Amino acid sequence: QEKVQQSPESLIVPEGAMVSLNCSFSDSASQSIWWYQQHPGKGPKALISIFSNGNKKEGRLTVYLNRASLHVSLHIKDSQPSDSAVYLCAVSMNYNQGKLIFGQGTKLSIKP
């Protein structure tokens, strides 16, 4: 069974700082890696996904995937108070089934 571990558990940074979140997974046969954002009392919302080794950038978000080390990271540039949320890393084992295995999440707080 695939295992997904996220670090740190929580993070507090000042507004405008660069944020780095980490995620490790156990199965090199995993397909896409996803990052979801979850605000209190809401459902998770997909932010960005990556399949190939390397990096992918979308707006203020950059994700890096290293399949050899089974590690993926999410970087948020110029953080805003509205970025305060729980960030969930999720691994898809079958590209078209949509079944995701989630990590426990990182709680991010941006201080104005």
Partner 1 sequence: EAAVTQSPRNKVAVTGGKVTLSCNQTNNHNNMYWYRQDTGHGLRLIHYSYGAGSTEKGDIPDGYKASRPSQENFSLILELATPSQTSVYFCASGAWDWGSSQNTLYFGAGTRLSVL
Residues at the interface with partner 1 (CB under 8 A): 1, 4, 32, 41-46, 49, 51, 88, 90, 92, 95-105
CB nearer partner 1, residue 19 or residue 105: 105
Q: Cα 15–6–49 angle (5° rounding)?
A: 80
In terms of DSSP bridges, do strands 71-76 and 61-66 run parallel, antiparallel, or are they unpaired?
antiparallel
To partner 1, the closest distance from the beta carbon of 14 in angstroms equals 27
To partner 1, the closest distance from the beta carbon of 48 in angstroms equals 10
HSE value, Cβ hemisphere, 13 Å, CA-based, for 80: 4
CB nearer partner 1, residue 3 or residue 77: 3
To partner 1, the closest distance from the beta carbon of 4 in angstroms equals 8
Neighbours of 49 (CB within 10 A): 17
Phi, psi of 83 (to 5 degrees): -80, -10
- Which residue matches tokens 């590690």? 71
CB nearer partner 1, residue 79 or residue 87: 87
CB nearer partner 1, residue 6 or residue 79: 6
